[in-house]
Structure 1
Amino acid sequence: MTPHDSDHDELPAHDELSARLRALPTERVPPARVWQGIAAQLPGQAPAPAVAARTPAARWPHRHRWPLRVGLGMAAALAVLMVVPTPIPQTPAPSLLQRQADAMAGEYQQAIAALPSADVTDEWRPALHELDASADTIRAAIAENPRSRYLLGQLQRTYALRLELTQQAVLSAGLPT
């Protein structure tokens, strides 16, 4: 006996069920109010007046206004930002190390000014210009890293070497120091 044979044996018991299934309508149509609710939710469709009173938009009219309110709020915030002057970024106060470097540079300028003014020969100029460029580079590095004591020491050594070379250049020109 196959499994299909047992199904055929039970067919008379299911005749009543089969008859009830055949009696059901082939198509079930929802009530008209359901179709009106569906039509109201479709884009570009105007809901029927009877349905409009039951839609969420009719019960809560402020729901469709929130995009307008958000847009107006954003426009107002942007207008405030455009009107209110932005503060000019202030440079931070110089650190202790930067003030020491400035004081050192002032002392160096005074020491150079105290030397007799003489034309330095061409053999000394490249070295003196190199030391001046090194001092400028060290000052820029101190501005970027205002807590580096090492840079302050390097600046001090560069100024001392520059003064020593200037004194030697003046002596070689035959002028007293």
Structure 2
Amino acid sequence: MNETDLRWRLRQLPREMEPARDLWPDIAAAATRASAKRRWPWMHSLAMAASIALAFGLAWRIAPAPVMPMTTAAQPDEEARVLEREATAMTREYQAALREFDGAPVPGSLEPGLRVLDDSARQIRAAIAVNPDSPALLQQLRKTYSRRLALTQRALTS
């Protein structure tokens, strides 16, 4: 078959064809199924973040408080550095857990609460920098991070 024959057959084809039935209901159903399938990958991220938060909380509850004897005048500075390092490590773990939710849509009604918790965490870290030997500030930072993660998880499941 040469090119001329192909062109002739192509011209003989009908210009328009009507489908045998209405296709829009099937398209809408397929789009709904596709959007439902896209929600499940977030569940994996939520499970990962919940596991990290649970491991962090268990480690905090189970780990005994370090007992450091006061033998020299340098001991308070050493304890302050330990608390600062612990706050830094906690912040890194928290940020890693939040990265699991990057790109996830957050309802507008929860954004003010998330901002308040983020501001509180910044203020607590600033207070730890000024008063690094305060276990109470470290405890408050831990609570703030836990609340922020819990609110983020709730935002993604609702």
TM-score by length of 1: 0.43
Largest Rg, 1 or 2: 1
Query: When you count helix as a share of all residues, which structure comes out higher?
Result: 2
Structure with bigger RCO (C-alpha 8 Å, 6+ apart): 2
